[in-house]
Amino acid sequence: MRIAVIGTGYVGLVTGVSLSEIGHHITCIDVNEDKVAKMQNGISPIYEPGLSELMTKNINEKRLSFTTDHQEGLQQAEIVYIAVGTPENIDGSADLSFVAQAAKDIAGNVEHNIIVVTKSTVPVGTNDMIKDIIQTHLPNGLMVEVVSNPEFLKEGSAIHDSFHGDRIVIGADSEHAFSIIEQVNQPFGVPIFKTDIKSAEMIKYASNAFLATKISFINEISNICELLGANIENVSTGMGLDQRIGSQFLKAGIGYGGSCFPKDTKALIQIAGNVEYEFELLKGVVNVNKKQQGILISKLNDCLPVISGKKIAVLGLSFKPNTDDMRESASILVTEELIKQGAKVVAYDPIAMENAKSILNPLVQYADSIEDAVENSDAALILTDWSEIKNVELAVFNKMKKPLVIDGRNCFALKAMENNGIDYHSIGRPVSAKLIEAAPI
Ligand code: UDX
C-alpha cells in the first residue's frame, strides 16, 4: 500500500522504516530540510541500533523516500500516519498544535478518500478532533476515517520491538478501517487487538502510567530495603516469579526518564483532572520519580560532606543504554546539582556526549573514556547501565584518588567490588564497605 508518514521523530521514522520493510511504499514527510536531506541518503538523525541499515536497504529497494513537500507526499497516499510530537505544555498537558497542523495539511493535499492513523500519543478524544479538522477542510465529497494506533516501541530496541511486540492496538469505528489497518499490520506477525478509538487512546497512557508505577514502586521498596538491610535484587527476583506481578520493570535505579514516561504520566494526570478526577496514585508516582533522580547526590553527600573543588566522574548520560536520547535523563539534574555544589564534573558516555553538550551545564567537561573520566577523581557516579560500563575492568577504579563508586544502576556484583577494595554504594543493596567490615576473617 502507499502510505505517508507525517513527522520523522523517533516514532515516525521507526514506523516508516518498519512499514517499508514489510513491503509497503512509504513517503516520510518532515518540515526540516537538513534532516530530510540526510535521511534521503540513509543517515538516521537518531542513534537506534539497526535503523540506518534498514533505511538504506529500503531506500535502495525504492520502498522508502523522504520529502519536505506535503503535496508530493500526500497526493498518492491511501493511508496517512500522523507521528508528530505532542510536547508537554507548562501545565503538563499535551500540546496538540503539531497534530492539528498535520490534520490541516492532510485535508489540504489529498485528492481521494483517506484513512488517517494516529501514532502520536494523544489525549482521549483527540482522534475525534483530528477527524473534525480534516473533514471540515477536505474538498466536498471526500471522506476521512480515523484510526488510533498507539506506539509501544522502546528506544534502543525499537526495530526489534516492531517485529516482536506484544500487541498492536487498533482503535477504529468502522469495519472498513479495521480491515485495512489490520491488513497493513498483518506482516509484522504481532497479535492485533481491535477496540474503539477512545479506549485505544487510553491504552497508551494507561500502559505507560502502569509501567512508571512499577518503577516508582520498586524504587521506594529499594529505599526501604537499604534502611532494613535487605537486598532489592533478591526482592525483585522473588516478586517477579509471581506471574501476576511479572519480572519486567522491577529494576530499581535512579528513576525513569526519556521521552514517554515523564511526559505521559503528567499528561494523564491532566486528562483525568479535565474530567474532575484526581489521579492521586499517579501523582505519587511522579513525585517519587523526582526524588529518586536525586538519590545519588544524597548518597554522595553522605560519603563526601564537601564536594566543592572535588573531581566527580559521571559515567553514562543518556536516560538508558543504547540511545543518545538525553530527554528527562537523571544526568541533567545530577550534573546541575554537582556543579551547584562546586564540583569539577567530568562525564563520559559511549554515544550521548554530543547531545549532552547542548543540554548539560557548559561547565561539565567530557572525557574520551571511562578511564580518563575516573582518573584522579574523588568519586564516580554511574547513571546509565551501558554494557561498556557494566563490563569495565574493575581495576580502572584504582586510578581514582580513593575508589568510591556510587552506582545508580546496580551494574556490579557486591562481592566483586568488595574484593577489589572499592567503597561501593548502589541502589537498595548493602554498602560493600559495610560488607568488608562485617565479613568474617
Ligand atoms: C517507554 C515504553 O517502554 C514504551 O512502551 C513506550 O512506547 C515509550 O516509553 P522508553 O522510554 O524507550 O519506552 O524506555 P524504557 O525501556 O521503557 O525505559 C524508560 C525509563 O525507565 C528508563 O529511564 C529506564 O532506565 C527506566 N527503567 C525501566 C527503570 O528504571 N527500571 C526498569 O525496570 C525499567
pLDDT in tens, 309-355: 999 999 999 999 999 999 999 999 999 999 999 999 999 999 999 99
Residue 436, pLDDT > 80, answer no
Of 1-5, 86-90, 257-261, 391-395, give the lowest mean pLDDT range.
Answer: 86-90
State how far the Cα of 322 lies from the Cα of 350, in Å rounded to an integer.
Answer: 9
Mean pLDDT of 136-156: 93
Residue 440, pLDDT > 50, answer no
The interface predicted TM-score of the complex, written ipTM, equals 0.98
Alpha-carbon distance values, 161 to 165, 166, 189, 190 (Å): 5, 8, 12, 10
- Ligand 1: residue of 216, 249, 260 to mutate (most ligand atoms within 8 A of CB) is 260
Q: What is the residue-averaged pLDDT of the chain?
A: 95
Q: Indicate if ligand 1 lies below 6 Å from the C-beta of 153.
A: yes
Q: What local confidence, expressed as pLDDT, does residue 413 receive? A: 96
CA of 321 to the centre of ligand 1 (A): 10
User: Which residue, judged by its Cα, is nearest atom 2 of ligand 1?
Assistant: 154
Q: What local confidence, expressed as pLDDT, does residue 435 receive? A: 52
**Domains located in the chain, CATH noted:** 2-195 (3.40.50.720), 203-290 (1.10.1040.10), 295-438 (3.40.50.720)
Q: Which atom of ligand 1 is found nearest the CA of 384? A: 25
User: Which residue, judged by its Cα, is nearest atom 6 of ligand 1?
Assistant: 152
Mean pLDDT of 44-63: 95
Active site residues: 260
State how far the Cα of 6 lies from the Cα of 117, in Å rounded to an integer.
Answer: 10
Is residue 100 within 8 A of residue 32, CB to CB? The reply is no
State how far the Cα of 49 lies from the Cα of 59, in Å rounded to an integer.
Answer: 18
State how far the Cα of 7 lies from the Cα of 379, in Å rounded to an integer.
Answer: 42
Q: Which atom of ligand 1 is found nearest the CA of 151? A: 7
Q: Indicate if ligand 1 lies below 6 Å from the C-beta of 81.
A: no
Cβ atoms within 10 Å of 50's Cβ, excluding its own: 14
State how far the Cα of 309 lies from the Cα of 304, in Å rounded to an integer.
Answer: 12
Q: Which atom of ligand 1 is found nearest the CA of 212? A: 21
Q: Indicate if ligand 1 lies below 6 Å from the C-beta of 327.
A: no
Q: How confident is the model at residue 434 (pLDDT cuts 50, 70, 90)?
A: low
State how far the Cα of 74 lies from the Cα of 203, in Å rounded to an integer.
Answer: 29
Specify the pTM.
Answer: 0.94
Q: Indicate if ligand 1 lies below 6 Å from the C-beta of 169.
A: no
**Percent of the chain predicted with pLDDT > 90:** 93
Is 249 annotated in some ligand binding site? yes
Is 299 annotated in some ligand binding site? no
Mean pLDDT of 280-301: 98
Q: How confident is the model at residue 433 (pLDDT cuts 50, 70, 90)?
A: low
Q: Give the closest residue to 25 by CA, choosing from 71, 61, 50, 75.
A: 61
Q: What local confidence, expressed as pLDDT, does residue 261 receive? A: 96
User: Which residue, judged by its Cα, is nearest atom 21 of ligand 1?
Assistant: 256
User: Which residue, judged by its Cα, is nearest atom 13 of ligand 1?
Assistant: 154
Is 253 annotated in some ligand binding site? yes
Q: Indicate if ligand 1 lies below 6 Å from the C-beta of 386.
A: no
Q: What local confidence, expressed as pLDDT, does residue 437 receive? A: 52
Residue 230, pLDDT > 50, answer yes
State how far the Cα of 429 lies from the Cα of 410, in Å rounded to an integer.
Answer: 9
Burial of 137 (0-12, 13-18, 19+ CB in 10 A): middle
Mean pLDDT of 73-95: 92
Q: What local confidence, expressed as pLDDT, does residue 304 receive? A: 96
